[in-house]
Each structure stands twice: as structure tokens, then as C-alpha cells.
Amino acid sequence: MSPTRSQADRDAMTVEIGFALLTGVFVAALTFGVAVSPLLFLQLSRNATGALLAGAASVAGIAFVWRVVRVLRRFGDRRSGPGALAE
């Protein structure tokens, strides 16, 4: 059976999940904006615009998942690393 977590541990994980989601949304929005920026300067056909938007949405989704996983893995590594408190 796994040991029960303290309220502080649960709160820390909640804050870390919120931080991961918030920064993931920010990174995804920034990535999407950069990916669609050629639309501001180029006159593309309707099909090309749709393809660019679909590609930008895909890249933004990947960036979101990458950021969330990266933040949560780093949090887990810090908690189980050499400086972590033993229970």
C-alpha cells in the first residue's frame, strides 16, 4: 500500500498541474500565432490557408502536450531527487 500524502504534497501537486496547464496554453497560443503569421504577409489560396491553419493547430497541440509533460516530469524528478525528504 502506498503511503498517504500530506495536504502540503497534494496542494503542491495541484499548483504544479495548474502551472503546467497555464503555461501549456501560453506556449500553444504562441506557437499557433507564429505558425499562422505568414497569413499576415502572404495572399494564399483558400486550400493553402486551411492547410496552414490545420498544421498550426496540430503543432500548437503538440507544443501544449510537450510543455505539460515536461513541467510535470520535472516536478516529479524534483520530488524524488537527491534533495527530496525521506518519509
User: In this model, does residue 80 exceed pLDDT 80?
Assistant: no
Residue 87's pLDDT is what?
A: 44
Compute the distance between CA of residue 72 and CA of residue 1 in angstroms, rounded to an integer: 23
Angle (CA) 21 86 19, round 5°: 10
- The CA R_g of the chain, rounded to the nearest whole Å, is 19
Domain range summary for the chain, segments of one domain joined by +: 8-79
Q: How far is CA 53 from CA 9, 39, 81, in A?
A: 41, 9, 41
pLDDT digits (tens, 9 = 90+) for 40-71: 999 999 999 999 999 999 999 999 999 999 99
Average pLDDT for the chain: 89
User: In this model, does residue 34 exceed pLDDT 90?
Assistant: yes
